[in-house]
Structure 1
């Protein structure tokens, strides 16, 4: 149990000009290369994402380097800056592996016991040339020694972007305790899964005597795994925040144009009340997600609670907003071809992949000792 009160300097939540400039740059790039039809085409491609846009994100924005320490080849910013990028990626429903590789994958490699031992992997991941995915939370993989090398046996289900990844970082049971290992995708059997959300591809991974490289040993595993879990919650909350804001903007635009009985439907009191509820969800999401991001940067040891709160608030908000968007677009919104259903699929798919809000609320209760 931890005792926690929001004690961060309120100035940390104030608008920062650099972050807003970053937001405008990311938004402009995605408006040009990640419109609805472009995203759908990328998600349906063999890779599951646009390789051209992925190159641009790494070459022009260097997304993997934003929150990486300067001594490891990064720019030394924090999660508050990465969250800006993730909000815009969420708003566009980007299928590129920003979350899995540029955020979680790079940070997992950077946490290595001996960074020099994985520097070749980290450098390639920071450039975007090596796509990394991270899967934590299972006792279905084991590792043992074969001479001086490690080999991994077992199976892991529902690994994000596994079919497109070059490297899979997973938690593995060893004789000394759990550890974090990196496995080359070429040494694994990967079976893609059919999921509700085509922009978040998943696959099952099987290892049979697969050579592996130990990234984090049993001594540091618990701390590193906990930090990666908090980072994942903060990152997904940021994506959900971007989705809620995007759907509110698009719905407000629609109800201001759609007329019934000679009036824009947005002028009807019932519509105004429903949009007001979505606005409240947007503001709650932004507050929770952005606070969690600055908490992760300023006080990482105490970031678990704000991250769990953000995960819960934003997961609820994104599901409600996606369904309201369908409803408020009326008959056209009920067609599967409509853009709103892409967001419904992302919201429901993320519940299955990362956990529903009730799991986060249970975590909150545990953290505060309820």
Structure 2
């Protein structure tokens, strides 16, 4: 592994940092999150049109920059540094890899160039707030997490091609001549779900006999689709509740994939998304630490800056080590994900991405807590900038974690602990031992 970045990668980081420094200060972030979309649409168009941010990891054949997970991770580190509210993670790290992996030729030709150019945004809707499970980050994603049985989650029903129209209440000819699908159910905590132009919905179908989870495309203007922005503690990560009331949908792919293929695609997308999210958390932690170091150098107590006290220096040194360790883990996870995409089996190490995400989330949580503490009385006020990072740390772990489950899953994938039968297959014992080690 060559740990040095190329000139192109350094240029991506430098250009993006300069732009965001001018356009995305704390006051700009607070103003953007209070708009109906939850982000600065003009800035997003600039990032997409001039820098090609959402297409960094897409092939050139679909209008992308033909880079990879490493370049996307570097970009996410810079967006995390300023806590940029944008549909980047939802579009480039969650939806685009799934369309690339599972989509049919016409679907990829239609959607991926538009996503790369920023003309469309997309997201992944998973029922029950089980995004981390669907991406195989906190446990196996095989099973009925999308809503098994006759009720609950999101259900998909095939519509016969002989039907003249859709479900009751739909207009004739609403579905394609070859038939289609109808979705009903609900999903909460959908990243940027209230503004996404395309929703990738994980839904259960097949009833009891052929129970399986498939991915469907739902357009934003589909009749029966209700989207409501949710109130979240971290306003920089907009989330929405999606209600599907007998909504027409299109299967992602040319034909029904088996459940294993869908699970594999979700897990592969989870690997790339975890690397991007880890880098984003590292960027946020690094910025919060830099702000704290600057503050303790100016705040005086007993006639001298508090940063000159050895106890404060030790706390900051511990945070610096944690951030650097998390950064190394995030970079390695991105490199590993890039190797997996190109077929380099030496780089496709199991559990690396989840472990890096756990390391980064824990580092961000520690840095954000210490930032509040070391800012003194002003740091405890809810309006202070330090709380932007504190809220991001708390909500990311709720959405993607918790940390001990990420680590337990990574241990299972890597085969670090033996199962009850003496083998190395993942099992409940591995999770229990890993959790006890983390708690200790």
Show the counterpart of 1:291.
332
Show the counterpart of 1:243.
284
Q: 2: distance between equivalents of 1:157 and 1:15?
A: 38
Cα deviations by residue, 1:236-281 (Å, 9 ceiling, x for unpaired): 1011010111111111111111122221111100110000011011
Q: 1:15 deviation in Å? A: 3.2
Residues 1:200 and 2:237 aligned together: yes
Q: Which of the numbers 332, 351, 357 marks the counterpart of 2:403?
A: 357
Contact 1:315 1:356 in 2 (8 A): no
Residues 1:218 and 2:257 aligned together: yes
Q: 1:353 deviation in Å? A: 1.3
Contact 1:230 1:304 in 2 (8 A): no
Unaligned 5+ segments in structure 1 are 1-8
Show the counterpart of 2:92.
102
TM-score by length of 2: 0.79
Q: Which of the numbers 276, 283, 303 marks the counterpart of 1:262?
A: 303
Q: 1:102 deviation in Å? A: 2.8
Instruction: Write the mapping of 1:8-27 to structure 2, written as runs, cut at 5 A.
Output: 9=1, 11=2, 13-27=3-17
Show the counterpart of 2:157.
144
Show the counterpart of 1:179.
214
Instruction: Write the mapping of 1:7-156 to structure 2, written as runs, cut at 5 A.
Output: 9=1, 11=2, 13-136=3-126, 137=134, 138-139=146-147, 140-146=153-159, 147=161, 148-156=179-187
Contact 2:200 2:218 in 1 (8 A): yes
Secondary structure class of the residue paired with 1:190:
strand
Contact 2:63 2:117 in 1 (8 A): no
Show the counterpart of 1:343.
389
CA root-mean-square deviation: 1.5
Q: 1:303 deviation in Å? A: 4.2
Q: 1:218 deviation in Å? A: 2.7
204-213 vs 301-310, greater mean Cα deviation: 301-310
Closer/same/farther in 2, CA of residues 117 and 17 from structure 1, 3 Å limit: closer
Contact 1:36 1:92 in 2 (8 A): yes
Cα deviations by residue, 1:105-125 (Å, 9 ceiling, x for unpaired): 222222234132342222222
Unaligned 5+ segments in structure 2 are 127-133, 135-145, 148-152, 162-178, 418-440
Q: Which of the numbers 356, 361, 366 marks the counterpart of 1:310?
A: 356
Contact 2:52 2:117 in 1 (8 A): yes
Q: 2: distance between equivalents of 1:65 and 1:364?
A: 29
In the alignment of these two chains, the number of paired residues is: 360
Contact 1:178 1:218 in 2 (8 A): no
Q: 1: distance between equivalents of 2:33 and 2:290?
A: 24
Larger Rg: 2
Q: 2: distance between equivalents of 1:341 and 1:303?
A: 35
Q: 1: distance between equivalents of 2:117 and 2:284?
A: 27
Q: 2: distance between equivalents of 1:295 and 1:183?
A: 32
Cα deviations by residue, 1:278-309 (Å, 9 ceiling, x for unpaired): 10111111110000000000135624411011
